[in-house]
Structure 1
């Protein structure tokens, strides 16, 4: 599974790195709503949540589904303005002005993404603002997720202008409460990272800079397609003439372990990448490798073999004697474990000694969390 970005024919100057205060505020709100996803931010989330005005905290709960488990595309409105630069604005106020430029149909569809991701699944279709069938489907999907989402969705469809104004005031209050001071501290670091990666892109090329952005990103040999290794399937193009060519990479201090790829039809693609992974000493493997390792360990006999291999090195014949199965059976199980990268094998005379790589096995839990949250 993966998300792919078609970059065939994309001019090099249309690939850019830039910080986005509005996208970063979205990630900060996500960290506040899901602190378990971000143990490295525990001190910040606890202190900020404790200092929030109770009225502001209550209003955030009214629409926390915009950032709790998924990230509404409205926080990257710069990617949807056809005549725009395709880049985030320098300040939060300017990004909110860009958000105000979205037409109501686009705003509503993106805001309803939390319950009705129709623009991802079906492309651009009838608007729930004007089509009774689309409205009914949107509200039915929202109702299935609880009364809070239904109430917000109904308000959004009945009085879009009022909800848009309400959301802007809410974001401005967050800026005054905690984000302005936070952004003042982290923006220089993000700007420095953007400057560095821009130089890497110019001097060493796209494969080199993707390697620095995330181990989950790669580009094909022809340089025509970027692939993001994620537990979702999707595709987009960076050369859609309707919105304009461009691909933007946006850094975030609050994002790890999430690697977000905006790939909605009619939007420029955006890769929202975390700065550093302090909780992990080494980069995680691919989702496919993680799945292979979990499947390899799930077999009852391989679990028994691992019990022996975790304690000492064994030959195939020794394992066959210990577990009462034939050497060919042992060899087949060892081949599965070896393909998953879970074994160390060394030659000792005429014999091959096998042992479980405990450091890799110990990482599976962390890799699983990173993989499903990526």
Structure 2
């Protein structure tokens, strides 16, 4: 995932909390508690306290935040001519959402049925019968709730917009206002700190503090997010206005979201912290994770690992045990070593190899974080 920031003035890179984006993350955590084991106490208590009627209405719209995050929760980035920055309050951000035109609102809300593939120039399901049919067919495949919501959205967009705002306002009254009062000060402090780092140490240093999955090229023209998804965005699109916003979240880990829709300013929605600082620091790139899984998947390397997991061995010892040549063993060990899975040390004139069990044990959690990032 890349963001083109060539010729973007430094003053147009911002760090700012967003109450509406945080509400979407809170709703996601409530609908997918397994993604967020560190929030178990909050999700359990909040779900138990929800009014049953509100809980039922949330089920009607949960596909807006359950498996994907609709861009409507970052409306500030999608209104041409706007400031491009989040509002200070949820009401302000909902007002910005109300100002979004129906075409953009519908395309964003229908992300749950894969209508919005982030291709420029897609026909509008509000005007094109074929596009409408495709949207409803995709929604039907996702389930009856998605189909019902999509049909209502296309038939009476204005009514659905009123319904959704009222639903989010009820969430605010039920649990989010208190949650936001608790988390907003830390998010504001984090935004101020990273802004200071950006101004004093530069973008590379600021990105390093945001996430190990972010980096900028030496020329300072392209930001890359290490995610299992392909996409591009530009922070200097004249049609919507220049700017790049980083939005912190307390509820996001392990998700690192990058809004990259055509005609929208790019946004990076980043978690403030992971459940384990050591895990976050040790998490590797997607490429490294792939190399480790491929290294372990080979039948002979799996057999070698059986021995290497129990004790250190030399190349010659492994060749004798498994009946293959020493050069073959060396080639397999080289693959494991390049993947960072072996510890090697010298014992006199012998070089011994052993599997690093702590790294192997972390592959499962690294895989989960990588695919959810």
Is 2:318 the counterpart of 1:319? yes
- Alpha-carbon separation, structure 2, partners of 1:66 and 1:279: 28
SS at match of 2:278: coil
Pairing 1:127–2:124 present:
yes
Q: Name 2:108's counterpart in structure 1.
A: 110
Inter-partner Cα distance in structure 1 for 2:189 and 2:32: 28
The structure-2 alpha-carbon separation of the partners of 1:210 and 1:117, relative to structure 1 and needing over 3 Å to count, comes to farther
1:29 counterpart = 2:24:
no
Q: Which digits, 9 at most, give the CA deviation of each residue in 1:187-220, with x for residues without a partner?
A: 0000000000000000000000100000000001
What is the Cα deviation at residue 117 of structure 1? 3.5
Q: 1:86 corresponds to which residue?
A: 84
Q: Which residue of 2 aligns with 1:250?
A: 247
Corresponding residue of 2:152: 155
Aligned Cα root-mean-square deviation (Å): 0.9
After superposition, residues 198-217 of structure 1 pair within 5 angstroms as: 198-217=195-214
> How far 1:351 sits from its partner (Å)?
2.2
SS of equivalent to 2:270: strand
CA distance in 2 between partners of 1:46 and 1:362 (Å): 29
- State the 1:118 CA deviation: 2.9
Change (3 A) 1:136 1:117: closer
* 1:319-358 to 2 correspondences below 5 Å: 319-358=318-357
* Partner Cα distance (1:124, 1:90) in 2: 33
Partners in 2 of 1:349 and 1:123 — Cα distance? 64
Contact 1:4–1:236 (CA<8 Å) still a contact in 2? yes
Q: Distance in 2 between matches of 1:81 and 1:37?
A: 31
Tell me, yes or no, if the aligned pair for 1:252 and 1:273 is still in contact at 8 Å. yes
Residue 284 of structure 2 aligns with which residue? Answer: 285
Partner in structure 2 of residue 369 of structure 1: 368
Structure 1 match to 2:42: 44
Within 5 Å, give how 1:165-180 maps onto structure 2: 165-180=162-177
Alignment of 1:1-20 (within 5 A): 3-20=1-18
The answer to whether residue 270 in structure 2 is matched with residue 273 in structure 1 is: yes
| 1:232-256 alpha-carbon deviations (Å, 9 max, x no partner) | 0000100000000000000000000
| Matching residue of 2:232 | 235
SS of structure 1 residue aligned to 2:142: coil
2:302 aligned counterpart, secondary structure? helix
- Unpaired runs of 5+ residues, structure 2, are none
In 1, the alpha carbon distance for the partners of 2:143 and 2:77 equals 30
Q: TM-score, normalised by structure 1?
A: 0.98
User: Is the CA contact (8 Å cut-off) linking 2:115 and 2:138 kept in structure 1?
Assistant: no
- What's the secondary structure of 1:177's corresponding residue? helix
* Structure 1 residue 171, shift from structure 2 partner: 0.1
- 1:192 and 1:253 mapped to 2: Cα distance? 13
Q: Say which of 44, 54, 63 aligns to 1:65.
A: 63
CA contact (8 A) 1:296 1:336 kept: yes
Please give the alpha-carbon distance, in whole angstroms, between the structure 2 residues aligned to 1:250 and 1:146. Answer: 32
Measured after TM superposition, the shift of residue 125 of structure 1 is 2.2
Please report how far the alpha carbon of residue 350 of structure 1 lies from its aligned counterpart in structure 2 after TM superposition.
Answer: 2.8
Seen in structure 2, the aligned counterparts of structure 1 residues 286 and 117 have a Cα distance that, compared at 3 Å, is farther
Q: Please tell me whether the aligned partners of residues 311 and 354 of structure 2 are also in contact (alpha carbons under 8 angstroms).
A: yes
Is 1:222 aligned to 2:224, yes or no? no
SS of the aligned residue for 1:223 comes to: coil
Deviates more, 1:111-120 or 1:253-262: 111-120
Between stretches 203-212 and 322-331, larger displacement belongs to 322-331
Q: Is the deviation greater in 14-23 or in 141-150?
A: 141-150
CA offsets per residue over residues 56-98 of structure 1, 9 Å max, x none?
0000000100000100000000001111110000000000000
Segments ≥4 residues shifted beyond 3 Å: none
Question: The residue matched to 2:139 in structure 1 has which SS?
Answer: helix
The aligned counterpart of 2:180 is: 183
In 2, are the aligned partners of 1:124 and 1:265 still within 8 Å (CA)?
no
- TM-score, scaled relative to structure 2: 0.98
